[in-house]
Chains A and B, each alone.
Chain A
């Protein structure tokens, strides 16, 4: 061009030289939000405790094996959270219960995210009849309260970890499908999508490479917030006896069993209760923090 030197001089704009500057900017915004950072720390703590549960207790000996001599011991140096009516260590059970909640929760979210993204993206991108048919089916699922839906699925399929995951996933797919679809609709109309079509991009690549990364913000937020509600659902289902077999340590079933002893042994219900509250709070805080950090309009 006529005067290429200008290109190096006049532009006093800060430009990223590293490739992942967007990620860094999002991290920076996230770290500014104290509550969100607190949520993240809480979450990491829960993960460490759940993953490293074996360091603190023995699964078979402390959490599963019944030990009737030791039943209903109040909290002490030996049993930090006391023991339950079968003499099992509550601290150990809360730790291992965290494993179940986090694992089932994560798996459920991943399954429903994949399903929801597929359905939502197809509906949003192609529009028209496909959109109508898919979204009306989703509406049917949404019309049933998700806990009721999960209960009926588990009731039909029977107890067990796998069935629990299926039940929870089916009931949260519609929410993901809706949110993916609406994100895609806003991105779809932009000119860079047309540009991609003009240079021969096929539909699959357009959805995966050009649309989804731009729609990822609301989806991540929905995922973290759903994580919180899924943990609650697991506990609720276990509480009513439709989750996992009662021998397996799980926060909800612990609450369920402890309710008979609430009056004289309140610690039995307190500790799993606190665990649920902390986990749900961690995910809600992270979700809110991410929503703000990912929204470019709320930059400052």
Chain B
């Protein structure tokens, strides 16, 4: 097994609110090997986007470490962090708010290059921008266009080009296809997988869509209210989901196939609440059909059920 390129240890991010501490990310350990994709799934408010931002140090963690090639980036001084940022990039969900509406396509893609002084000649920068546009499948006739003149798919390609501009090794993809129509979504997914192969990129892929995450990930982590409830290689997770929440999540996906038993699924009751000052123990217990008295009271550690398959459940 190769060495992980990105690792987190004991990572926590709490937000102070008027009602107490919101445990957005609570004690997350993860590691991603170079060239692989870790999918992070969960429902809205489970902390997956916060996790992505803490890993990039766009938010400072409350506790814990984020290791990039063995180096804790949370302890890097500002200067070195600026250099480190070239390696770590992000692609966003919303193709509208993720691009500066006042900048032309060429300025959007060139800004990371100029900011980090990778190239200095105007001509060189321009050539690099065109090259990046071609890489992501955009015609260079859009080079002087503004974001509002383009459709969602093209805009998302610009977002990808901007993330690639500094030749990063690791990209956090925060729901990059959720706002797109299926056919455009598939185009972008194909693009991202091609890029990964060509450049040996490492992805942390955040999404709520189980079929997308299955398609793109090598390994999947399921989050619930700030915690990791199950993590496993993709096929293992889909064939043998152990945590009741994972099971419910998988059974809730509407599959585009006719099923004889349609409409009869395992439904879970209730909805997610926000983890403000959560009690120790399983946070899913209140909705879990198999809840027992020992689910609450003390923290439930992740245990390895089969190689690489970790679950946090008393069952």
A–B touch (CB < 8 A): the answer is yes
Residues of A within 8 A of B (CB): 1-2, 4, 7-8, 11, 13-19, 21-22, 190-192, 194-202, 205, 209-210, 213-214, 296
Chain A residues in 8 Å Cβ range of B101: 214
Q: Closest residue of chain A to B88, judged by CB?
A: A198
Query: If the complex has contacts A194-B90, A198-B56, A199-B165, are A15 and B149 also in contact, measured as CB distance less than 8 A?
Result: yes
Over the window 29-61 of chain B, the binary record of Cβ atoms lying under 8 Å from chain A Cβ atoms (1 yes, 0 no) is 000000000000000000000000100101000
Q: Which residues of A contact B56 (CB under 8 A)?
A: 198
Alpha-carbon distance A191/B139, docked complex (angstroms):
24
- 21 CB-based A-B contacts, threshold 8 Å: A1-B194, A7-B138, A8-B141, A14-B149, A17-B141, A17-B144, A19-B144, A21-B146, A194-B53, A194-B58, A195-B159, A195-B163, A196-B111, A197-B58, A198-B56, A199-B86, A199-B115, A202-B82, A209-B111, A214-B102, A296-B148
Whether a CB of chain A sits under 8 angstroms from the CB of B142 is yes
Q: Which residues of the other chain, A, contact B228 by a CB distance below 8 angstroms?
A: none
A19 touches B150 (CB 8 A): no
Which of B53, B93, B98, B190 has the most CB atoms of chain A within a 10 A radius of its CB?
B98
Q: Which of B104, B154, B165 contacts A19 (CB 8 A)?
A: B104
Query: Out of B85, B92, B94, which one reaches A199, CB within 8 Å?
Result: B85
CB pair A199–B151 under 8 Å, yes or no, is: no
Closest B-chain residue to A1, C-beta based?
B137
Contacting residues, chain B, for A7 (C-beta < 8 A)? 137-139
Which residue of chain B has its CB nearest to the CB of A2? B190
Interface residues on chain B, size class:
35 or more
Q: How far is the CB of B249 from chain A (nearest CB, A)?
A: 26
State whether A199 touches B150 (Cβ < 8 A): no
Q: Are B116 and A15 in contact (CB under 8 A)?
A: no
| Residue from A4, A19, A191, A199 in contact with B89 in the complex, judged by beta carbons closer than 8 Å | A199
If the complex has contacts A1-B191, A13-B151, A198-B88, are A22 and B137 also in contact, measured as CB distance less than 8 A?
A: no
Contact in complex: B88, A15 (CB < 8 Å): no
Which chain B residue lies CB-closest to A205?
B115
CB-contact partner of A191 in B98, B112, B144, B149, under 8 A: B98
**Inter-chain contact A195/B98, CB cutoff 8 Å:** yes
Shortest Cβ distance from residue B202 to the other chain A in the assembled complex, whole angstroms: 15
Contacting residues, chain A, for B111 (C-beta < 8 A): 196, 199, 201, 209
- How far in angstroms is the closest Cβ of chain B from A173? 25
Contacting residues, chain B, for A192 (C-beta < 8 A): 97-100
**Residue B162 is within 8 A (CB to CB) of chain A in the complex:** yes
